[in-house]
Amino acid sequence: MSTTTVASKPTFGHALHAEWIKLRSLRSTWYTLAGLFVVALGITGLNMGSIGSEYDPGDKASWDPTNLSLTSYIVAQLIIGVLGILVVTSEYATGLMQTTLVATPRRDQLLAAKVVVAAAIAMVAGQVLMFASFVLGQALLSGQDVPYASLGDSGVIAALVGGGIYLAAIALLSIGLGTIMRATAGALATVVGIVFLVPALSELLPSWLQGLIDFWPTAGAAAIFETVPNPDYPHPWLNLGGMCLGVAAVLVAAFVVFRRRDV
């Protein structure tokens, strides 16, 4: 008497579990996350250690200690971006993408699993980094005889939570670009161009494109890190929401491209 075993069809749960095991087993994941905290908190410490000397009592209304302690996001978003890119491009670089597609033939399921796992890691890492940067920054400010913030102050929690969402959105943007380009260098160069080059050259954009800057990373969307009202971007959550819509559009394009390619 013989028995046969019928293999169950891979589900999204299987794909999610596989991507989690794959990502946590890579040394590059932990090196990148360690680099994120070391570099970002190091920048916070260096920046906040003597910034009290710049405080002007006559301009107290514009003094934003929360934003000052979160400026490390400028570098943190690049490191988070590298993590998001490597989630996809590392498999193309090693040739393992073909093997992964054999194990999970439904491409939309596979890419969705990568997006969910990477977004979860980026969100947790981003939130922990925001709170750690805030605590470190305010501790350094408190010893410089200048105003500093506490978690209970108006707008502080919103800035910290919004900062974590911002970094998670950058990770998702990077996954989308990595999927479309299939090359780490090209995707990273594009991320750098998006977060640095476009805002720097925004004054050269035609008037009909100027409105895009309101929802651009390191420009309008970065107003979420501020607790003092910014007259240029008075609705930071709206700016961040617009950025997230743009990231969603890139992800949609990534899903379409991923399904239509041979590999």
The closest alpha carbon to 83, from 131, 137, 120, belongs to 120
With a pLDDT cut of 70, the percent of the chain lying above it is 97
CB distance 138 to 149 below 8 Å: yes
Question: What's the pLDDT tens digit per position in 158-197?
Answer: 999 999 999 999 999 999 999 999 999 999 999 999 999 9
CB distance 111 to 254 below 8 Å: yes
Coil, strand or helix at 48: helix
The phi, psi pair for 226, rounded to 5°, reads -100, 145
The alpha carbon of residue 169 and the mean position of all alpha carbons in its chain are separated, in whole angstroms, by: 5
Question: What's the pLDDT tens digit per position in 123-169?
Answer: 999 999 999 999 999 999 998 889 999 999 999 999 999 999 999 99
C-alpha to C-alpha distance for 162 and 223, rounded to whole angstroms: 10
pLDDT of residue 7: 52
Going by C-beta distance under 8 Å and a sequence separation of 6 or more, which residues neighbour residue 3?
Answer: none
**Residue 170 burial (CB count, 10 A):** 29
Quote the pTM value. Answer: 0.91
